[in-house]
Amino acid sequence: MNYITHLNAFFAKLQTETRLRPHHISLYMALFACWNQYRFCTAFFLSRQRLMRTSGIGSKTTYFKCLKELHHYGYIIYRPALHRHHGAKVSMITWGPGAAPVPVPPAPGPEPDQPQAGIVPPAVPGMGQLQLRIGMLPGPEPGQHNKQDINKGNRECKTPAHHPPVSSRQEAMPVCTPPDLQAVQDFFCAAGFPPEEAPLFFHHYQANGWKQAGKTPITNWQAAAHKWIAYTKHTNTNPYGHHPTNTDINVRPGKNYGDPL
């Protein structure tokens, strides 16, 4: 194999070739480099990552498209893999003086389970007995269902299609109508609570939108009022008001801060 003669014949063919694009030429040169490393053997396995990196092709779709078109145009013979664990092969068609006649490349091979049109598959010994045995195996009865159909029916029964699930918390939460100030004052007087706490309680929750800690809506404001008074009696101060701070820092009255320390 004289690779110089082969490349000269390839470049001379490019002068009249109008179907090839830069991707075809770069992929062919990458295939030629691999062919050179395989010592110009009849057929060699392909490494897609290596060929794409060498040819500068970044798309797998473009890579396979160029491979099939180079095969169709008569530059290579591409034999795609019929199984994921079998590598694809390529045979380079040689040119130049003394080269073998260029064979007509066959179409890329079919898929594993699709025989070519017009080709009768060879007979396998014992295939007739195997088909007869398969035909004798009992099939499912008319009323039987497989496990997947049964599980699918159970899931459809458990989850209604037209009624989205509603959480139990939303169903059980009643709506509380916020009271006015007069209702709060009447309730405090009837319960024997200090009347001065009624405005504090009302304005505090009115500012918070009648929500506990500003998040959870209050469902029973009378219970919240009892809690308010219980907390007031326990701490002896306003539970949500301003707590006075201890200002006694052991400083003598009338101290002159202009004196040096």
pTM equals 0.40
What is the Cα–Cα distance from 59 to 54, expressed in whole angstroms? 13
State the pLDDT at residue 69. 94
Residue 166 has pLDDT above 90, yes or no: no
Per-residue pLDDT band for 118 (boundaries 50, 70, 90) equals: very low
Does domain 3-92 fall under CATH 1.20.120? My reply is no
Instruction: Please write the tens of the pLDDT for every residue from 197-208.
Output: 888 888 888 888
- Higher-scoring residue by pLDDT: 258, 241: 258
- CA 100 to chain CA centroid, Å, is 53
Q: Residue 129: exposed, middle, or buried by beta-carbon count in 10 A (0-12, 13-18, 19+)?
A: exposed
With cut-offs at 50, 70 and 90, classify the pLDDT of residue 128. low
Please return the burial class of 119, using the count of CB atoms within 10 Å of its CB with bins 0-12, 13-18 and 19+.
Answer: exposed
Domain with CATH 1.10.10 in the chain: 3-92
Model confidence at 32: pLDDT above 60? yes
3-class DSSP state for residue 214?
Answer: coil
Identify residue 5 by its one-letter amino acid code.
Answer: T
Top pLDDT among 40 and 149 is at 40
Tens digits of residue pLDDT in 210-229: 887 778 888 888 888 888 88
State how far the Cα of 81 lies from the Cα of 88, in Å rounded to an integer: 4
Percent residues over pLDDT 90 in the chain: 21
Average pLDDT score over residue span 104-118? 47
Residues 261 and 254: their CA atoms lie apart, in Å, by 16
Helix axes 181-191, 197-207, angle to 10 degrees: 140
* Position 261 pLDDT exceeds 60: yes
Query: How many whole angstroms separate alpha carbon 59 and alpha carbon 72?
Result: 20
Beta-carbon count within 10 A of 251 CB:
9
SS3 percent helix, strand, coil of the chain, rounded to 5, is 45, 5, 50
User: According to the model, what pLDDT value does residue 260 have?
Assistant: 75
Q: How many residues does the chain have?
A: 261
The 3-state DSSP class for residue 78 equals: strand
Residue 56 has pLDDT above 70, yes or no: yes
Helix (H, G, I), strand (E, B) or coil at 92: strand
